[in-house]
Amino acid sequence: MRELYPEIEPYRTHHLAVDAIHTLRVEECGNPNGLPVIFLHGGPGAGLATYHRRFFDPARYRIVLFDQRGAGQSTPHAELRDNTTWHLVADIEAIREKLGIERWVVFGGSWGSTLALAYAQKHPQRVLGLVIRGIFLCRPEEIRWFYEEGGASWILPEKWQRYAAAIPVEEQAHMLEAYWRRLTSDNEQVRLAAAQAWGAWEGGSITLAESPETVAAFEAPEVALSLARIEAQYFRNNAYLEPNQLLRDVDKIRHIPTTIVHGRYDIICPVKNAYDLAAVWPEADFHIVLAGHAASEPAIADVLVQATDKLADRFS
């Protein structure tokens, strides 16, 4: 199985003001003259991790990564104003123009797959190839599955209990709205408590094997606040997408060489999401592997690295 490339550091970082409120942290890694690729992190609101640089051959790729609005080292932290899918799509174009890139590969997982599809469908002429995993189409049933008392609560009942316990019983019929009220409370302690319960639920569900380290990372105040606040805003608005928009508009990107990979036992984003996408896009290279949700799981990383290597062979 293919493994991630060795750890690398950015050769350049930028702080790009995209409007009067938001400034994005952007980093470039690898080969400045290589095949350009943009990495789209999950969440929304999760921010970058250093291993995100490692899905690409640094000798052949110019690797561009950025913390999305309100996430990671972008500022202001956990900001909800002017923070929608379409703001992020515009940000990707602003980064491309800033860096003088004509066309690039787009790589994203989980929420990053949502954003990758939205961007590609809006700007297909800018996309050389797509590599997407842990498919999330942000349909109401997908949000109910994980954030309301859907199927995920039956698979991880003890972890669901902590998530549910943050909300009074009389409000638990509408968990997302109950969390939203707390995540936007004027009381800092209320916001943080809700965010950490949200982060623990998500962090405890992301890997196939138990990973206390992952839960701790998702519960860390800086990560939990941006993740929970921004996710709640997006998900209660169906990610600002029209019903089934990403499936409906596959014709706009059908010609783009694409790899889709999904873990068979993904609890956050059930495999049916990827199956539904592949059903309307048979031209895509579709893989179901023995894994959960995380991009770092060996079976997922294997296919992702193979996919980026193939695109480098094709376009370099």
Domains and CATH numbers, the chain: 12-139+239-315 (3.40.50.1820), 141-238 (no CATH)
Which are the contacts of 297, defined by CB distance < 8 A and separation ≥ 6? 207, 208, 263, 291
Tell me if the pTM is above 0.95.
Answer: yes
Please tell me which residue in 22, 52, 293, 296 is annotated as part of the active site. 293
In this predicted structure, what is the pLDDT of residue 276?
A: 98
**Does 293 qualify as catalytic in the annotation?**
yes
Please tell me which residue in 266, 287, 296, 302 is annotated as part of the active site. 266
In this predicted structure, what is the pLDDT of residue 149?
A: 81
Please tell me which residue in 22, 41, 67, 110 is annotated as part of the active site. 110
* HSE-CB of 201 using CA atoms within 13 angstroms: 26
Q: Which mean pLDDT values do the consecutive 10-residue runs of the chain (316 residues) have?
A: 97 98 98 98 97 98 98 98 98 98 98 98 98 98 93 94 96 97 98 98 95 96 98 98 98 98 98 98 98 97 98 95
**Does 91 qualify as catalytic in the annotation?**
no
Pair of tokens at residue 131: 């590599």
**Does 205 qualify as catalytic in the annotation?**
no
In this predicted structure, what is the pLDDT of residue 35?
A: 98
